[in-house]
Amino acid sequence: MGPHAGLDLVEKILTLTPATKDQDHLPVALLSYPERIPDRSTFLMDPSQPSPVPVLTAVARQLDDLGATVAGIPCNTAHAPAIFDAVREQLRASGHQIRLLHMIDEAVRHVQRTHADLRRIGTMATLAVHRLKLYREAIARAGFEPVVPDERVQVEVINPTIFDPQWGLKVQSTPPTERARQSLLEAIDHLRDNGAEAIFLGCTELPLAVPESHLDGIRLIDPTRVLARALIRETYPDRLSAPASDQAA
């Protein structure tokens, strides 16, 4: 839900839709109101802080009013039940029909479907997603073995990679700063050393900075790309390009 992540989601919808002219592309509405949406992690770590739920619900209602039938939230952290389930519940309560796809569930189901041979899958995500075990539990439910970073790597490497106000991905992601790129590689090495055969890039800033589907011999799974594919599947399934066999998403 960094604004670049929203653009990345729409870009991936375009890429997954074969087209030879403008009119071949699907209708997409992107409502990007970053200044109005309180930080998801801050709220999850301290529920006395401002909640992103009211604004997210209002934005989903606006999308519904525009005629959207299905929507995605390009922020993994927003899929914590305290946010995502609350938004869904408020939409239901007000009678809005728009369906929110669940990015993390979609990503894990995608790997079940396309890479059932994997056994141990790691995650890189925000500290909030790490503490709440969002990917970890979804991976385990799907029958894989989750590989999580040590607390030190989570706190001292991964989190600053995303949020550091000098060199983090929220400041600059395409391309990332040299320091962010080095931190990412350190985290990937760490997860591989802990046995991961693949890694979920479980914060939407990460695939902006690491577009590779493989790095240092490890498979990287891009939940933004999975969400883009799911949004097309749920609206215009016949317009979806065939999955490339060499891509995890």
Task: Give me the residues that bind a copy of itself (CB under 8 A), please.
Answer: 1-4, 7, 10-11, 14, 19-39, 62, 65-66, 163, 165-166, 170-171
The minimum distance between CB 208 and a copy of itself, in angstroms, equals 11
CA distance 105 to 158: 22
Reading the block at residue 129, the tokens are 């997603």
φ/ψ of 122, rounded to 5, equals: -95, 170
Q: CA 148 to CA 140: how far, in whole Å?
A: 12
Nearer to a copy of itself, 6 or 122 (CB): 6
What CA–CA distance (Å, rounded) separates 164 from 223? 22
C-beta of 68 vs 199, nearer to a copy of itself: 68
Rounded least distance, CB 38 to a copy of itself, Å: 8
Q: How far is the CB of 77 from a copy of itself (least distance, A)?
A: 11
C-beta closer to a copy of itself: residue 28 or 86: 28
Contact at 8 Å (CB) between 190 and 149? yes
Of 35 and 246, nearer to a copy of itself (C-beta) is 35
CB of 63 to a copy of itself, least distance (A): 10
How far is CA 57 from each of CA 11, 31, 93, 109, 161, rounded to the nearest angstrom? 24, 12, 11, 25, 29
**CB of 75 or CB of 121, closer to a copy of itself:** 75
In angstroms, the CA 119 to CA 195 distance is 10
Nearest distance in Å: CB 130, a copy of itself: 19
